[in-house]
Structure 1
Amino acid sequence: MILLSTVIDFVLAARIDSSQNQRTRFALITVSLVLNLVFILGFFKYYNFFADSINLFLGHFGVKNALPILHVILPVGISFYTFQSLSYTIDVYRRQILPEKSFLRFALFVSFFPQLVAGPIVTAKTFLPQLDTAKNLTQVRFRKAIRYFILGYIKKVVLSDNAAPIIEKIFGHPENYGTVALWLAATLFLIQIYCDFSGYTDMAYASALLLGYELPENFRMPFIARSVTEHWRRWHMTLSTWLRDYVYISLGGNRAGAFRHRFNLWFTMFIAGFWHGAAWTFIIWGSCQGTILLLEALYGSLKEKHFRDFRILPDKILAPIQIILTCFVSVAVGTWFRAESFTKGWTMLKKMFIYTEGGLRPYMLKTGIPVILCVIAGQWLGYFIFEKKKEWNPPVWFEFSFYPIIAVILALLTPDLELPFIYFQF
């Protein structure tokens, strides 16, 4: 599939660039969109979802199994490389870049292995120019790569994988647990998917650095965001950027009037939800995210128009409150992302907001609380390093002398179970 997608967009982009007829150019970009989104991504990822939904609907009228359910194996990373390849064709259509003359160079862009299966999503205009630069592994790059790889390993194996059994147990049977246990599981899941996904991208970033390439940043302390809008500027940033550039702006962005602007926000997040998976839970999750962004945009415009200089509290007090509220909303909405079905998701949310007791075990707190505290500490440390620019650069010998100690600690904290990266399924 990756070869087919690569060939399609390489050929069509060249034809688009060579054509001076706008109708022909539009027809060719439409062919690219249909082939990539309908026949490749749509068939492998969404056919069974639509077939099952249609069969369920027709079943109410006595029509049984109108469409067959296919046992199709989802190609690993299909959502990522389809978006990457498609962005190239769209950029050529928009005349933002020239088509790549070498098929091998373009194929390397689409299939670059460090980030192939789970991102970050790269675009041709940022990656292809790097093929023309000399590849020198400097001391600075090597040290940076080692740091990112260790950080990614800690996030994935020490934090995400240790929290996984608690999350699996509670999300699997939410009806058996009380409010505190459910909130703990929902909080741990948001942390799990952050550590799992950002851990992978950190290790992918490190691997690319060692090969002489630099991948785009994908996460930037999302748990210090003061609104859900800001959260999406810090969380899965390459997907947010892709959706902004190729969906939101294509719909008119904020240039099409207030109503269209807010609809475009909502629809873009709806697409984000559907991109993640062919299930109603993902659609609900994306719709909820879009509704929140819509409401925040509405509040922002009203505040700018009528209460620009009004301050409820000093910023030092208001900021922590906004951060806590944003995390609270993200945790609650995130239950739909992890829920195994609509019924289980709804059951969990009801019990989270209507107090009940039961199910909480000491081992859950013993594991869960340290994981939460580690992530909070990491966000705080990241804030000072990246936002306040207070990075510490010790001598090489001093830094490397700690690595054997870190290796022993990681070996002790690594759980016995082996879990795949969550985003491999997307």
Structure 2
Amino acid sequence: MLFTSLEYFFFFSFVFLYRWYVHPVIFKNEQTSRPVLHVVLLVLSYVFYMSWDYRFGALIFLSTIIDYYVALKIVDTEQVKIKKAYLVFSLVTNLVFILGFFKYYNFVGETINQLASFVGYDRKLIPFLDIILPVGISFFTFQSLSYTIDVYRGVIPCERNFVRFALFVAFFPQLVAGPIVTAKSFIPQLFTKLSFDAIPFRVAFRYIILGYFKKVILSDNASPIVDIIFANPENYGTVASWFGVVLFSIQIYCDFSGYSDMAYGSALLLGYELPENFRMPFIGFSITDIWRRWHISLSTWIRDYVYISLGGSRNGYLRHKFNLWMTMFVAGVWHGAAWTFIAWGVGNAMMLVLESVLKDFKNKYIHFDYSFLIPFLNVLRFVYAYSTFIMFGGIFRSESIGKAFTLVTNLYSFSEGTMLRPYMLKIGIPIMLVTAIGHYLGYLIFDKKIQIKVSPVLEFLVYPTLILLFSFLTNDNEMPFIYFQF
């Protein structure tokens, strides 16, 4: 059930009408109304998730019941060793038996078989299994796991109501592609009494329309061009290769942030607020800065539950750099079972460490006034950050390590190859310009805090016009969101 489909439109319309027009009429007592609403939203969230495959419901229920039970045991047990044993049980179950099996079993098995073959062992040690990858499995396992860790750390109280906890794990707007929500930010909202008049409809519709535009108009129209270039990178020279990686960076940004925007707007219409997930990432002046703006909920999760757990910056200089490297490596592995994802994670990790080392060097040794150079340096920093980020993105998108190597070689070899077709330029360049303008407007609104006032009447007229326009510009083939595979 894609956010951009008519199926979702009717599904969400039903949820919205029930939430605000049916439920308050049937259940007027607050003590009865709230628990019943949570049950209904939970059931509808499972219906939403099981629309892909009915078996997915059993998997998310398994993850939910394990972490619910483990958290109860952690709180009810006084012995530290037993608390830790329960936490380890949750970690192993979620990361090895659920996420590890469904997402990494065949990749690890194939790697072991290749190594065995390399040393002369002909038989396959690990059999290949025809495993269906559940949609959004990395999102809900990380989300559920964060709750258990927070309870163990004493950051949040244990949620003893199973329905509330299960709704936190399965809330449908953000279930299959984030943003990753923490229990301390979501569960308290379930206790908040919110009236229909308090819903910021204008804000919600802005996010939904913007997300739809990013996904359907920009990302989906960029997709066929990106597919052609990345299918045979050896055919294209330097200019075409750069065109491809720039367009892919926009495609995946518009696809993923478009989903996040639509999720944010959908949740807001139901009375709940999700965390910000993107903040104009392409205006970052370093890889570190871009990662503060890109998939913020994942970056925050890895910082809170990997980087800090490893010791953060507390255990010496080299350990700090190792912890930085490891957090980004985990991000690469999280994205999927392929050497291209691992190479992407390692590359970003190396740049994060390098930038941290250079920052330490600057703070220690460079004390003269170079403010007059800042405008020039900012241009260089932007070019470096964006070109490096999208180069690694090219590795991420490549179908194999071999094709990734070919692509990266083409980027810097000043080679010639197959010319870009005119239709690629006619579609690709406007998409790039619209994305650049969007980033600039976002920079003015969110970074510079410049208010752009729009008349409610004008918005009322613009939204139907945009929807009508989208219907003409929509790609005929309905495309799933890229991050569903993660």
Q: Distance in 2 between matches of 1:308 and 1:32?
A: 49
Measured in 1, the distance between the counterparts of 2:106 and 2:372 equals 51
Q: Secondary structure at the match of 1:118?
A: coil
In structure 2, the partner of 1:407 is 467
Q: Is 2:170 the counterpart of 1:111?
A: yes
Alignment of 1:139-178 (within 5 A): 141-178=200-237
TM-score normalized by the length of structure 2: 0.86
Please, which runs of 5 or more residues in structure 1 have no aligned partner?
Answer: none
Q: Which amino acid aligns with 1:132?
A: F
Which residue of structure 2 aligns with residue 5 of structure 1?
63
Q: Which amino acid aligns with 2:464?
A: P
Q: Quick check: 1:31 aligned with 2:89?
A: yes
Q: Which residue of 2 aligns with 1:353?
A: 412
- Report how far residue 313 of structure 1 moved: 4.6
Give how far 1:227 is off: 0.5
Given the alignment, which residue of 362, 372, 393 partners 1:303?
A: 362
Structure 1 position 15 matched with structure 2 position 73: yes
| Contact 2:325–2:353 (8 Å) recurs in 1 | yes
Pick aligned residue for 1:54 from 80, 96, 112? 112
The match for 2:437 among 366, 377, 381 is: 377
Partner of 1:42: 100
Larger mean Cα displacement after TM superposition, 313-322 or 300-309: 313-322
Contact kept, 8 Å, 1:186 with 1:332, in 2: the verdict is: yes
> What corresponds to 1:318 in structure 2?
377
Q: Structure 2 counterpart of 1:377, which letter?
A: I
Tell me, in whole angstroms, the C-alpha distance in 2 between the residues paired with 1:372 and 1:356. Answer: 23
Alignment of 1:70-149 (within 5 A): 70-138=129-197, 141-149=200-208
Tell me the distance in 1 between the aligned counterparts of 2:70 and 2:368: 52
Contact 1:178 1:356 in 2 (8 A): yes
What is the CA–CA distance in structure 2 between the aligned matches of 1:417 and 1:178, rounded to whole Å? 29
Measure, in 2, the Cα distance between the counterparts of 1:2 and 1:387: 38
Structure 2 counterpart of 1:221: 280
* Rounded Cα–Cα distance in structure 2 between residues aligned with 1:12 and 1:118: 25
2:245 paired residue number: 186
Count of matched residue pairs: 426
Tell whether 2:483 aligns with 1:423. yes
Instruction: Map Cα deviations across residues 203-250 of structure 1 (whole Å, 9 max, x no partner).
Output: 000000000000000000101111100100000000000000000000
**Do the aligned partners of 1:135 and 1:211 also contact (CA within 8 Å) in 2?**
no
Alpha-carbon separation, structure 2, partners of 1:157 and 1:394: 24
Q: 1:308 and 1:108 mapped to 2: Cα distance?
A: 53
- CA deviations on 1:227-285 (whole Å, 9 max, x unpaired) are 10010000000000000000000000011111010010111100100000001110000
Deviation at 1:177, TM superposition (A): 1.3
* Alpha-carbon RMSD: 1.2
| C-alpha distance in 2 between matches for 1:95 and 1:391 | 40
Distance in 1 of aligned mates of 2:189 and 2:243: 44
1:310, 1:294 → 2: CA distance? Answer: 26
Q: Tell whether the 8 Å contact from 2:199 to 2:268 is kept in structure 1 after alignment.
A: no
Find the aligned partners of 1:377 and 1:158 in 2 and give their Cα distance: 15
So what's the TM-score if we normalise by structure 1?
Answer: 0.98
CA distance in 2, matches of 1:279, 1:312: 44
State the Cα distance separating 1:406 from its structure 2 match: 1.7
Deviation at 1:392, TM superposition (A): 2.2
Q: Distance between the aligned counterparts of 1:402 and 1:32, measured in 2?
A: 49
Call closer, same or farther: CA 1:310–1:296 in 2, change over 3 Å: farther
**Structure 1 counterpart of 2:446:** 386
Q: Return the offset for 1:398.
A: 2.2
Distance (whole Å) between structure 2 residues aligned to residue 59 and residue 132 of structure 1: 58
- 1:305 Cα deviation (Å)? 0.4
Shift of 1:37: 0.3
Q: Secondary structure at the match of 1:69?
A: coil
Task: For 2:401 and 2:372, locate their aligned partners in 1 and report how far apart those are by CA, in whole Å.
Answer: 39
d(CA) in 2 for partners of 1:285 and 1:420? 23
Superposed displacement of residue 414, structure 1: 1.6
Aligned-partner Cα distance in 1 for 2:441–2:200: 21
Match of 1:210 in 2: 269
Once the two structures are TM-superposed, the CA of residue 388 in structure 1 deviates from its matched residue by 1.3
**CA 1:243–1:159 in structure 2 vs 1: closer, same or farther (change >3 Å)?**
same
Q: Which residue number in structure 2 is paired with residue 243 of structure 1?
A: 302
- Per the alignment, residue 40 of structure 2 pairs with none
Q: What displacement does 1:140 show?
A: 5.9
Structure 1 runs of 4+ aligned residues shifted over 6 Å read none
> Is 1:69 matched with 2:128?
yes
Worse-superposed segment, 262-271 or 361-370 = 361-370
Question: For each residue in 1:145-197, what CA deviation from the matched residue of structure 2 results, as whole angstroms up to 9, or x when unmatched?
Answer: 10000000110011001100110001011111111111101111111100000
* Partner AA of 1:157 in structure 2: V
Give the aligned residue type for 1:262: K
Residue identity opposite 1:413 in structure 2 = L
Q: Report whether the alignment pairs 1:294 with 2:315.
A: no
Deviation at 1:312, TM superposition (A): 7.0
Whether 1:197 aligns to 2:256 is: yes
